[in-house]
Amino acid sequence: MYKIQYLIFKIFRYILLLFPEKTRFKFAERLGILGYYLIKKRRLIALANLKLAFPDKTYKERKKIAKESYKIMAKAFISTLWFEDYLKTNVELEDFNRVSSVKEDGNGIVVALIHMGNMEATLKAGEKYKSVTVAKAQRNPYIDNFITEARRKLNVILLKKSKQTSRELLEQIEEKNVIALFSDHRDKGATVNFFGEETVSPTGAINIALKHNLPIVIGYNVMHENNTCTTYFTKELELIRTNSFKNDVKVNTQLMMNIIENIIKNHPNQWMWFHDRWKLYKKIKNENIKG
């Protein structure tokens, strides 16, 4: 079954690449809108999240943001099928000196990533410096291998979540590589306030920065109407350090989430809104979210 799935995937990729890039992205936009309407659960989650984040916006305005987000996420996914070529001419790195200046001194650095825009295009930074990130392994081992090899060509080491992940990360930290971890979605970690609502946020990036005394910046991507994109890097976070490591992790995770919240507010259509960030689905699936 996995081999059949992979064969279908390869055929789809082959046919898609026969078309000009602009046509591929048009297809992706339609795919995104189709997903918005067909997958009711994710649509409800996206609209509920937007209502929580932007209560002053009208339902019509939130719906427009949700649709734009779906289209951007679909285009980001589709572009990974010809990622090497896409990255050559379509990605700008803004304020990358905030990473390169640290690396030129031979030191390690942590980059907290956000699920925004063509999010994986941020990995273009890994072409010059070896970067390490963590992701769940795909169920299909052939597709998983395709993704892993594609990232390896970009000088990115893709660690799969497992019991060995912490040890593997430690080895990469000791090698002073760039540690790039997505830090905006719900996961085990610290309780924080995000868009005025209590939720849980991953602490991996902050934990590593504090424990190993590494600088940390936030990296995020914005995709433009012409399908190019820009990756931005914030200034180094000024971490608070006291005698309580556990409290420092919580306080600095909140600090990071405050910055991420402001970034999302500036580019609301770029964020992945259909992730159940605040665990709202059980509350809203039978409610009217137009208000």
pLDDT reading at 133 higher than 70: yes
pTM for this predicted structure: 0.92
pLDDT reading at 187 higher than 60: yes
Residue type, 90: N
pLDDT tens string 198-233:
999 999 999 999 999 999 999 999 999 999 999 999
Chain position carrying tokens 């000024």: 238
The C-alpha atoms of residue 102 and residue 117 are separated, in whole angstroms, by 25
The C-alpha atoms of residue 291 and residue 289 are separated, in whole angstroms, by 6
pLDDT reading at 35 higher than 90: yes
Which comes out higher in pLDDT, residue 180 or 143?
Answer: 180
Task: Give the angle 282-288-290 at the CA atoms, nearest 5°.
Answer: 120
pLDDT tens string 88-128:
889 999 999 888 888 888 899 999 999 999 998 887 776 78
pLDDT at position 72: 98
pLDDT at position 286: 63
pLDDT reading at 245 higher than 90: yes
The C-alpha atoms of residue 264 and residue 49 are separated, in whole angstroms, by 12
Burial track 183-221 (b if 16+ CB lie within 10 A, e otherwise): bbeeeebbebebbeeebbbbbbbbbbbbeeebbbbbbbb
pLDDT at position 108: 93
Instruction: Return the SS3 of 222.
Output: strand
Structure tokens at 127: 């072409």
Which comes out higher in pLDDT, residue 287 or 177?
Answer: 177
The C-alpha atoms of residue 76 and residue 228 are separated, in whole angstroms, by 10
The C-alpha atoms of residue 183 and residue 115 are separated, in whole angstroms, by 8
pLDDT tens string 38-73:
999 999 999 999 999 999 999 999 999 999 999 999
